[in-house]
Chains A and B, each alone.
Chain A
Amino acid sequence: MSTLVARRVRVSVGTALLLLAAAYVLAPLYWLLIASTKNTSQLFSTSTFLPPSHLSLGANASSLFSFGGGEFRYWIINSAVYATVTATLATAVSTLCGYSLAKYRFRMRRPVFGLVVGSLMVPTTALVVPLFMLESYLHLNNSYQGVILPLAVYPFGAYFMSIYALDAVPDTLMDAARIDGAGELKIFWKVARPVLMPGMATLFLLAFIGTWNNYFLPLVLLGDPTKFPLTVGLATWASELHTAGVSQPLYPEVILGSLISVLPLLILFPFLQKYVARGLTFGAIAGE
């Protein structure tokens, strides 16, 4: 009996802790949802976590999409373009590289693998300032390619794929295809690609989220507001909240804009969680 009581106490202590942690995670997101329905004066006068008596969501939305010549609309499209193209390119390039590292023996195999693993240690933000100077020299800064190409270099992707392909693509199957007269490209497309698909989905999602969330690199490389992604655009608006001379501080616009920039991924996340989690853990547990 007493062990049952003890167990019950432990279960409720545990559940309380888990609920507390869940509240920590959800509170700001809940606040964002509530705050997006308030106008500036309501933000400063109504209770923080309660909806206002009169919803201002519609007015906020029309102001958000029309302010500054409707630049917010550009930012949504830009974020979608940057994330989709970068993720596609990064997945294709790192899959090919990882697959050949795992499945072919060639002279440069060890050096290339060493390069891939070694570059995982280089903090990528250290490359941003020199990247800006290099891109100015090549006239690539302030362009879509200038943001997409550096982000498509994804050494983790090549590392991930090399270990993924090792087990996923059986050598016997490749040999059988060779005996049947298939070329190496055909083997990749018909034999390897189908079994690598789940791994590619993981890579695509990781690269997509990474690009969607990136701030430092586009901030440095872009100057034209119509090329900004959501992160850079919204941070620019947020930085002008206290600037003297701005006729109207953009609190509701920044808040609703933030909500719109996180909503699509948050809604899709329950379906994507499995694939994303696999990618994160891969490097650490594959050897255990």
Chain B
Amino acid sequence: MTATLRQGAGRAEDATRRSRSGRPRPPAAQRRAAAGMTAPFLALFAVFFVAPLIYSLVLSLKAGGTGAFAGLLNYRSVISNAQYWGGVQRMAYFGVIQVSVMIGLALVLALYLDSSYIVGRKFFALVYFLPYAVPGVIAAIMWAFLLEPDLDSALNVPHLLGLASGPVNPLGFRFALYAIMLIVTWEFAGYNMTILLTSLTNVPRQIIEAARIDGCSELGIAWRIKFPLIRRTVMFTVILSIIGTLQLFNEPVVLNDIASIGGNYTPNQIIYNTAFSFGNEPLAAAQSVLLAAITIGATVAFYSIIRRRADPFAAARRLR
């Protein structure tokens, strides 16, 4: 693949002079075009991505209030902050359960839709993907109303059957985490299923036909042939989900607004409150930097475990 790329890009350069490194150098017109075409992206990227990143690093070293240089004071205070770690821990617990359930569900649905059993494949694929078009805030509002005992008569059924002492309240503090899992799974299971299903349609049909002729069952085909072939994509969805989990914000904010589950439920909520309720922006910056580091750390750790067997970013190698 790399060879194709080199060959392709090099073709126009054959007649051009060579640079000091010995590589053929493209004509000035092409270098100018490349510079001009990357410039708008790089300019926006520098101002709205790199600058905030550097600014948050600098800010995190200042003292809240006075703005004097404070060294690692903010980091020390985050590291000893039980509430912050409580949020991180909650997200770790959330991630292990919710990501496994969601990716498992997405995988089973995708394999089912790809098997020969299914009628209405297109219909189901569309329905499962629909929540992608619904903003997380709106999803949270819908579910909060559906899980609110005053509004949802179905939650009174266990009480009427004598199974509970009152209406079930899934939004009590104890259950809130599971309510968020239900909402996030609703939002993203179909999204992940879509990724997996597209990947499945790329599995060569001859392999599957050959297995079928050899007498392999549909279940065997799904588990022993299709799954190993899309393992890379499964890992890709897991990595996306890990990053998403640690950044959770919209759903707990809305649930707290409607059902008071607590305003410091996730790290991002804590960061938001530190910056805007308490006005301690340097501390919030340190919390942001640490959260980014934890997210990147978790992603890299997971990636280095799986990359040998299933590298989801193999595509990028073509351009390196």
* Interface: A273 (CB within 8 A): yes
* Interface: A188 (CB within 8 A): yes
CB distance B49 to A127 under 8 Å? yes
How far is A109 from B35 in the complex, measured between Cα atoms in Å? 10
CB distance B142 to A123 under 8 Å? no
CB distance A21 to B109 under 8 Å? yes
Q: Which residue of B lies closest to A241 (CB)?
A: B258
How far is A131 from B124 in the complex, measured between Cα atoms in Å? 40
Q: Which residue of B lies closest to A18 (CB)?
A: B124
CB within 8 Å of B: which A235-269 residues? 235, 238-239, 241-242, 251, 254-255, 258, 261-262, 265-266, 269
Q: In angstroms, how far is the closest chain A Cβ from the Cβ of B317?
A: 7
Q: In angstroms, how far is the closest chain B Cβ from the Cβ of A197?
A: 17
- Stretch from B75-83, B92-100, B167-175, B193-201 at the A interface: B193-201
CB within 8 Å of B: which A7-33 residues? 7, 10-11, 14-15, 17-18, 21-22, 24-29, 31-32
CB distance B254 to A278 under 8 Å? no
CB distance A123 to B243 under 8 Å? yes
CB distance B37 to A129 under 8 Å? no
Partner of A235, one of B12, B56, B253, B313: B253
Partner of B48, one of A99, A149, A239: A149
How far is A91 from B258 in the complex, measured between Cα atoms in Å? 37
How far is A17 from B320 in the complex, measured between Cα atoms in Å? 43
Q: Which residues of B contact A125 (CB under 8 A)?
A: 247, 249, 268
Q: Which residues of A contact B199 (CB under 8 A)?
A: 281, 284-285, 288
Partner of B191, one of A92, A102, A172, A280: A280
- Stretch from A57-65, A66-74, A113-121 at the B interface: A113-121
CB within 8 Å of A: which B118-136 residues? 118-120, 124-136
* Interface: B117 (CB within 8 A): yes
CB distance B37 to A171 under 8 Å? no
How far is A53 from B25 in the complex, measured between Cα atoms in Å? 77
CB within 8 Å of B: which A144-200 residues? 149-150, 152-153, 155, 158-159, 162-163, 166, 171-172, 174-175, 178, 183-185, 188
Q: Which residues of A contact B288 (CB under 8 A)?
A: 126-127, 129-130
CB within 8 Å of B: which A216-252 residues? 216, 220, 230-231, 234-235, 238-239, 241-242, 251
CB within 8 Å of A: which B18-68 residues? 23, 26, 29-35, 37-38, 40-42, 44-45, 47-49, 51-53, 55-56, 59
Q: Which residues of A contact B246 (CB under 8 A)?
A: 123
How far is A151 from B267 in the complex, measured between Cα atoms in Å? 22
Known: A122-B296, A280-B194. A235 touches B53 (CB 8 A): no
Q: Which residues of A contact B34 (CB under 8 A)?
A: 100, 104, 106, 109
Among A109, A281, A285, chain B packs the most CB atoms within 10 A around the CB of: A285
CB distance A21 to B118 under 8 Å? no
CB distance B317 to A287 under 8 Å? yes
- Kindly list 13 other residue pairs between chains A and B, CB separation below 8 angstroms, not including A212-B135, A277-B194, A283-B313: A17-B109, A92-B40, A100-B38, A121-B296, A123-B295, A126-B247, A130-B288, A153-B41, A209-B133, A266-B134, A269-B133, A281-B194, A287-B317
> Could you pull out 11 A-B pairs where Cβ atoms are within 8 angstroms?
A14-B117, A28-B143, A97-B37, A110-B320, A121-B243, A122-B53, A123-B247, A130-B53, A238-B141, A273-B126, A276-B132
7 closest A-B pairs (Cβ-Cβ)? A287-B314, A184-B33, A287-B315, A239-B257, A97-B41, A130-B56, A286-B315
